[in-house]
Amino acid sequence: MIDLYYWPTPNGHKIPIMLEECGLDYEVHPINMLKGDQFKPSYLKINPNNKIPAIVDRDGPGGKPYKVFESGAILMYLAEKTGKFLPKATAARYDAIQWTIFQVANVGPMFGQCGHFLRYAPKKIPYAMDRYKTETERLYRVMNKRLSKSKFLGGNTYSIADIATYPWVKINDFHEIDIDKYPHVKRWRKAVGARPAVKRGLAVLEDVMKLGNPDKEAFKNLFTRQKKI
Ligand SMILES: N[C@@H](CCC(=O)N[C@@H](CS)C(=O)NCC(=O)O)C(=O)O
């Protein structure tokens, strides 16, 4: 049994999708980041970085509970636990790992900042809007080129690289990207989005958060309270 500490955001979605793909049993513990649950001392014992997602594997290495934070590390841990969605052969394995790290180091942070400065920043800052939009477009071009030669991001089989990246590309409207300009990404997005496990993963707590304008309390918890950590 896996305890999933979760809120339905792009970084969050990756984990129920992987759990569904792997057929693992899990229990969802909502961490309402709009109310500041991510800062509670009880949660900081699971994720010292006060962000979602995190997991505790009740049956971890040596039969003991094991905590994992950082979505990329969680995907790798679950892939290793189940032997699924990460090829065994070295080159294929590292192809998938490279594209997973590409997501956590580039796609997530840059698309996130792009959406932030386009939509949430209280002041319009043209330099920041342009900087992150330009980088987001560049990352779409990188993925489009990769997917023109490869069925999936990590290679010819579906892997944790696709699971990591799909939830961010799904919300292309949020960072104001016209998906039609990236036909290979569009083809891949359709194929990944059609997987039954992806649909089930996305449905977990789907009603509790819509991308939109956060209210005053949510804005404080998401964007200003970090100064005190
Ligand atoms: N690198 C982290 C990023 C996690 C992250 O940024 N989570 C966001 C939601 S998508 C969060 O918890 N935000 C709340 C906060 O920053 O207080 C990962 O991939 O797990």
Question: Domain with 133 in it: what CATH number?
Answer: 1.20.1050.10
Determine the pLDDT at residue 225.
72
Output the six-digit token pair for 117.
């400065």
Determine whether the shortest distance from the Cβ of 33 to ligand 1 is under 6 A. yes
pTM reported for the whole predicted model: 0.94
pLDDT digits (tens, 9 = 90+) for 163-184: 999 999 999 999 999 999 999 9
Question: What is the C-alpha to C-alpha distance for residues 16 and 19, in angstroms, rounded to an integer?
Answer: 5
Report whether 162 contacts 75 (CB < 8 A).
no
- Do residues 182 and 106 both lie within one domain? yes
Domain co-membership, 94 together with 188: yes
C-alpha separations of 172 from 6, 8, 26, 111, 114 in Å = 22, 16, 29, 9, 11
The CA-atom distances, in angstroms, between 149 and each of 22, 25, 97, 193 are 27, 35, 18, 20
| Ligand 1, atom nearest to 10 Cα | 10
- Return the residue whose CA atom lies nearest to atom 13 of ligand 1: 51
Q: 225 CB less than 6 Å from ligand 1?
A: no
Q: Are residues 190 and 131 in the same domain?
A: yes
On whether both 94 and 189 belong to a single domain, the answer is yes
Tens digit of pLDDT at every position of the chain (229 positions): 999 999 999 999 999 999 999 999 999 999 999 889 999 999 999 999 999 999 999 999 999 999 999 999 999 999 999 999 999 999 999 999 999 999 999 999 999 999 999 999 999 999 999 999 999 999 999 999 999 999 999 999 999 999 999 999 999 999 999 999 999 999 999 999 999 999 999 999 987 866 566 777 777 777 777 666 6
The pLDDT value given to residue 210: 60
Report how far ligand 1's centroid is from the alpha carbon of 51 (Å). Answer: 4
- What is the predicted pLDDT for the residue at 77? 98
Which residues, other chains included, contact 64 with Cβ-Cβ below 8 Å and sequence gap of 6+?
none
Q: How far is the CA of 113 from the centre of ligand 1 (A)?
A: 12
- Same-domain pairing of 189 and 206: no
Q: For residues 79 and 166, state if they share a domain.
A: no
Query: What pLDDT score does 207 carry?
Result: 79
Q: Which domain holds residue 208?
A: 2-84+202-228
Cα(163)–Cα(100) distance, rounded to whole angstroms?
9
Please check whether residues 94 and 65 belong to one and the same domain: no
- What is the count of structural domains for the chain? 2
Ligand 1 atom nearest to CA at 31: 12
How confident is the model at residue 216, as a pLDDT? 76
Residues 121 and 180 in one domain: yes
Kindly state if the Cβ of 165 falls inside 6 Å of ligand 1.
Answer: no
Residues 107 and 177 in one domain: yes
- 229 CA → ligand 1 middle, Å: 14
Q: Are residues 18 and 105 in the same domain?
A: no
- Do 121 and 74 fall within a single domain? no
User: How far, in Å, is the centroid of ligand 1 from the Cα of 40?
Assistant: 15
Please tell me whether residues 115 and 94 are part of one structural domain: yes
Neighbouring residues of 53: CB distance < 8 A, sequence distance ≥ 6: 4, 5, 6, 7, 11, 12, 14, 15, 69, 71, 74
Q: Say if ligand 1 is within 6 A of residue 103 CB.
A: no
Q: Tokens for 196?
A: 């039954």
